[in-house]
Structure 1
Amino acid sequence: MNTTHYPHWPAGMPYAISTPETSVYLNLEISARRYPNRPAIIFYDALLTYAELDRQVRLLAGYLQQQCGVARGDRVLLDMQNSPQFIIAYFAILRADAMVVPVNPMLMTDELQHYVEDSGASVAIAAQEVFPRLAPLVGNTGLTHAIVASYSDYLTAPTDLTVPDFVRAPRNVPAQDGVATWNDALAAGCEPGPHQAGPDDLACMPYTSGTTGKPKGCVHTHRSLMFNAVASPTWSGATVADQVTLAVLPFFHVTGMQSVMNSAIYCGGAIVVLPRWDRDAAGQLITRYKVTGWTLIPTMMIDFLSNPRLGEYDISGLKRISGGGAAMPAAIAQKLLELTGQTYMEGYGLSETMAATHVNPPHRMKQQCLGVPYFNVDARIVDPVTFQEVPQGEQGEIWLHGPQVFQGYWNDPQKTADAFAELDGKRFFRSGDLGYMDEEGFFFFTDRLKRMINASGFKVWPAEVEAMMYQHPAVQECCIIAARDAYRGETVKAVVVRRPGSEASAEDIIEWAHAKMAAYKTPRVVEFVEALPKSATGKVMWRVLQEREMAK
């Protein structure tokens, strides 16, 4: 195990920690007993206490069990934006001894069908603005029940904040077999059975993908989920209940889920919820509720600091500002430091590790750096061909061993076997990311062994987008690559060979793609070419196109 970074370890902090050997739901139950009257959720000035949060979680868990037939180990799809209902639904699924399958609310019907069929979920909990995309699957796939929530039901206090129309929208859930409104589900008054899930039961399955195109489920137990829910606030010193966290990262994504939602619930802190990024609302909420912790991606910080109204907000109470997904530009990090005295704490993690494996030490933060392997993590830089560790400073693949590493890919033993390798008698996860370790033991990201585009922190898998693009009648051949984008960091570009006789324009193809896939996956740029470069075996040489694009 590499210990080069130990001289830079936070003073008084242990190198390894022990975490509770209980279900993640119990974190909520315990916080509700300790702090029943403290605010758990703040939603546009409406407050939900810990006692009330736990009461609603139990009611929804009872409904899932008694009316939807959810049993121990079942998968339940969760499809909504940040909201009180997301948190309630998440913990209700865990309380029902089932596994949460969080999905991006930007996904379209064809994409959702894969998640439903692959996970075997028979129940979904969705928000009403995204439900029309899920509705065709209820009763026509294995999905037999859906519970539909309206965000406006939780706008229970007057507010002068700008509330988006989709949040204000009144309840409007279509009458459909197998579909119940959120309010009706809670009003049924169902009490759940005894809680049975333990540390090694199934807990959460975020989906990720690779070069094969179809997203695959990352199986996490309560044990692997629990680790970063505890480790994250421990590392940043945010373990007391008086912490107030601003939730702007989506809860369906592991960073928002773990570093914000689950960490706050474990500690008994308050979560200030924003369903969608809004720089003015963020500034107002930080000021009004004296937010102490904020986890966000660089594109959000760039937008926030460029706001001409920034001077109206009091952000001096922030004690920790952290994130990842992409490197924070040095100029933005400097401006943040000047305004708040805070250094942006960068980290590194994956869906397979349920958020962080690396974080910068609070007293020794390097910019554009992944940080050091934190509690209980053994990380190595390994030659991806020879499987031998490379010398310090040389590039290799980042390998990870720790309690937050997933169990494997759902129903895919071959991909699971390919994702792991043994070194020094330990089972390491092969991240697919390339990087190096400096002389102080800090890790840096350099490239991707896997093919992936990182658009504002959203991971876009080219093969998946290509598979969708081939459905367009004008597309004869297509290769998806990353293009530089001043705001998003990277954006999606389609290099297309048109079918003979087709006169489809780039705008036609982009508009079509918007209707077929989530916005972050949709190509922003389409380039037409006569032919794609290919190898002697006929494989498209995507690296050639990628290198050509980056050389522009």
Structure 2
Amino acid sequence: MTETVAVRPHHAIWPRRLPRELAVPRTSLWFNLEVSARRFPDKAAYLYLGQPMTFRQLQQRAEAFAGWLQSRGVGKGDRVLLYMQNCPQFIVAFYAVVRANAVVVPVNPMNRADEFGHYITDPDARVVITTADLAGIVDQANQALPEAQRLRHVLVTRFADAMQEGGIPADEAPSAPLQQWLTAEHPALPGHERWPAALAEGHVPGPHTAEPDDLVLLPYTSGTTGLPKGCLHTHMTLMPNIVGGAVWGLASPETVSLGVVPFFHITGMLYGVLSPVYTASTVVIMPRWDRELAGRLISRHRVTHWTCIPTMIIDLFGSPNYRSFDLTSLTYLSGGGAAMPAAVAERLKTEFGLTFAEGYGLTETAAPTHANPPERAKLQCLGIPLFGTDSRVIDPDTLKEVPVGEVGEIVTHGPMVFKGYWKHPDATARAFIEIEGKSFFRTGDLGRMDEEGYFFITDRLKRMINASGFKVWPSEVELLLFKCPAVQEACVISTKDAYRGESVKAVVVLRAEARGHTREQDIIDWAREHMAAYKVPRVVEFVEALPKSGSGKVMWRLLQDQEPQKA
């Protein structure tokens, strides 16, 4: 049964090729793989540096690792951490956890040990699957925890475990530094188990018993206060966008997509891990962004679909070789995270006949709630609400809907909206409001809707920095900076960046003993060792004191308002 959505302005311009609502299968994510493996057993599900993995191989390996997980005590609903860059092992591990009736907890591989500990303790995880380059971080974070909270099993894979014998073919080879990182050897740490040995154990998993409304994914998102919170997603909050993304983008078994957006991220997961397995299409995996490799892979494999962030397009255009890349196979180019500059969009249209279809969504909404129809896209626009989705713009104080064209908070009701925050009932209650008898999620983004029902973002109700599509929450960076021996107080704000859009700036009060011999670069260097690279302040400013309100709260908004003049 699908819910009937009230007629909204965007229905008047709704693409004629699309239904307004979808009948979404009430099945588990594992069933999607079973069907594709049965229908297309020998078709390449993934291509990785010249090495294919068929749907049959993906299913067989996922079942073997599901058996391994269950042999290590993983049961229904248990949380398993996935901590790695894009590689075939991520896909296998993801579906192994699903097959074992457990819950996937994807963790950003850029996180350092100080950050990673939270992902062990908060979801009460006992197993992590990671790559050898990150195993040391896992061990460091794990050893810092009390015995009762530590991981019980660490499964480690090398990137080379998924490469073909004889190395990477020349025409698939990434840049020398990236190739060196992929092929580097890392010593095994005590107690860690290795991927090939786990596969060789040959365990057969028990029955797959997951129901459509069972928890299956717990991605974390940060907020205005405190540490990151887990978002509760079931098979049935993921399936609407798995199916909808395919229908909207005209995906089919003939589709070939470029999997370069990180798989741990909800957008990369939807378009690189979930939807392609449902449609039985092929994904060309890139472990990290490399513009020369991206151009060659699109040309070589005749990539048809590419979901990306605008900075990737800008970087590709910056390549001295970009005119030699054959991009004529691309038929669908989409993305979000940051606005596409009009000049770049115009070049795409003029030189390649491609329309960049921007979209909008959050971790809480399993990626998109809005998208631009490629045949009627508007620039620097979030798009229109997707299948069965009702979005409004409300006054954040009165909670009443505002007239067309006026700015307010964007709220959304749809089948892809999450079930709440893990262990945070109060935050969950604050995140939803009721309108006309329906529950709407408060996005915290300020925007407006035009007369045709297209949505535009104008500002943020929440305090957040958008650096090349990565969301940086100042409160989280501040909490980490307070651990720095030289820092007495810190306030984090955004500063303009010609390439990234925004960058992180830290306004710092030094401790008395650090004054006179601590440089701004010292703070940046310390941050690089203790937090993910995208969170590291690019700019540090020392001040004698931070401005505070009568109640003692740091007046971050005042510092933010002053920043344009300083910049």
Given the two structures, how large is their TM-score scaled by the length of structure 2?
0.95
Alignment deviations for residues 401-421 of structure 1 (CA, whole Å, 9 cap, x no partner):
111100000011011111111
- Please state how far the C-alpha of 1:236 moved relative to its aligned partner: 1.3
- Please state how far the C-alpha of 1:326 moved relative to its aligned partner: 0.7
The range that moved more, 130-139 or 262-271, is: 130-139
> CA–CA distance in 2 between the matches of 1:212 and 1:172?
37
AA aligned opposite 1:253: H
Alignment partner of 1:80 is 2:84: yes
**Does structure 1 conserve the Cα–Cα contact (< 8 Å) formed by 2:44 and 2:282?**
yes
Alignment deviations for residues 28-63 of structure 1 (CA, whole Å, 9 cap, x no partner):
111010000110110011111111111101101110
**Does structure 2 conserve the Cα–Cα contact (< 8 Å) formed by 1:213 and 1:461?**
no
- Please state how far the C-alpha of 1:166 moved relative to its aligned partner: 5.1
> CA–CA distance in 2 between the matches of 1:365 and 1:485?
26
Alignment deviations for residues 425-480 of structure 1 (CA, whole Å, 9 cap, x no partner):
00111001100001111000011111111111111110011011111222222100
SS at match of 2:423: coil
Alignment deviations for residues 494-530 of structure 1 (CA, whole Å, 9 cap, x no partner):
0112223423110111001111111110111001122
Q: Name the residue aligned to 2:49.
A: 44
Q: Name the residue aligned to 1:156.
A: 164
Q: Name the residue aligned to 1:243.
A: 255
SS at match of 2:560: helix
**Does structure 2 conserve the Cα–Cα contact (< 8 Å) formed by 1:31 and 1:268?**
yes
Alignment partner of 1:8 is 2:13: yes
Q: How do 1:107-118 and structure 2 match up within 5 A? A: 107-118=111-122
Q: How do 1:414-425 and structure 2 match up within 5 A? A: 414-425=426-437
Of 154, 170, 188, 2:201 maps to: 188
> CA–CA distance in 2 between the matches of 1:173 and 1:32?
35
Of 135, 138, 144, 1:134 maps to: 138
AA aligned opposite 1:42: L
Question: Residues 512 and 219 (structure 1 numbering): CA distance in 2 closer, same or farther, change over 3 Å?
Answer: same
> CA–CA distance in 2 between the matches of 1:550 and 1:145?
49
> CA–CA distance in 2 between the matches of 1:458 and 1:12?
33
> CA–CA distance in 2 between the matches of 1:509 and 1:425?
50
**Does structure 1 conserve the Cα–Cα contact (< 8 Å) formed by 2:114 and 2:141?**
no
**Does structure 2 conserve the Cα–Cα contact (< 8 Å) formed by 1:259 and 1:355?**
no
Alignment deviations for residues 110-145 of structure 1 (CA, whole Å, 9 cap, x no partner):
211111100011000001111110013447433110
Q: How big is the alpha-carbon RMSD for the aligned residues of Structure 1 and Structure 2?
A: 1.3
> CA–CA distance in 1 between the matches of 2:337 and 2:276?
21
Q: How do 1:279-358 and structure 2 match up within 5 A? A: 279-358=291-370
Alignment deviations for residues 334-370 of structure 1 (CA, whole Å, 9 cap, x no partner):
1111222111000000000010000001211000000
Of 440, 455, 472, 1:460 maps to: 472
SS at match of 2:61: helix
Q: How do 1:49-448 and structure 2 match up within 5 A? A: 49-66=54-71, 68-138=72-142, 140=147, 141-156=149-164, 158-160=168-170, 161-163=172-174, 164-165=178-179, 168-169=182-183, 172-177=186-191, 179-238=192-251, 240-448=252-460
**Does structure 2 conserve the Cα–Cα contact (< 8 Å) formed by 1:151 and 1:167?**
no
Gaps of 5+ in 2: 1-5
- Please state how far the C-alpha of 1:165 moved relative to its aligned partner: 3.4
> CA–CA distance in 2 between the matches of 1:496 and 1:65?
48
- Please state how far the C-alpha of 1:171 moved relative to its aligned partner: 5.3
Alignment partner of 1:492 is 2:507: no
Given the two structures, how large is their TM-score scaled by the length of structure 1?
0.98
> CA–CA distance in 2 between the matches of 1:518 and 1:2?
44
Question: Residues 166 and 102 (structure 1 numbering): CA distance in 2 closer, same or farther, change over 3 Å?
Answer: farther
Runs of 4+ in 1 over 6 A off after TM superposition: none
> CA–CA distance in 2 between the matches of 1:391 and 1:129?
52
AA aligned opposite 2:241: N
- Name the % identity: 51
Question: Residues 425 and 241 (structure 1 numbering): CA distance in 2 closer, same or farther, change over 3 Å?
Answer: same
**Does structure 2 conserve the Cα–Cα contact (< 8 Å) formed by 1:497 and 1:531?**
yes
Q: Name the residue aligned to 1:532.
A: 546
**Does structure 1 conserve the Cα–Cα contact (< 8 Å) formed by 2:84 and 2:108?**
yes
SS at match of 2:244: helix
**Does structure 2 conserve the Cα–Cα contact (< 8 Å) formed by 1:202 and 1:220?**
yes
**Does structure 1 conserve the Cα–Cα contact (< 8 Å) formed by 2:117 and 2:142?**
no
**Does structure 1 conserve the Cα–Cα contact (< 8 Å) formed by 2:133 and 2:186?**
no
**Does structure 2 conserve the Cα–Cα contact (< 8 Å) formed by 1:46 and 1:155?**
yes
**Does structure 2 conserve the Cα–Cα contact (< 8 Å) formed by 1:148 and 1:173?**
no
Question: Residues 146 and 166 (structure 1 numbering): CA distance in 2 closer, same or farther, change over 3 Å?
Answer: farther
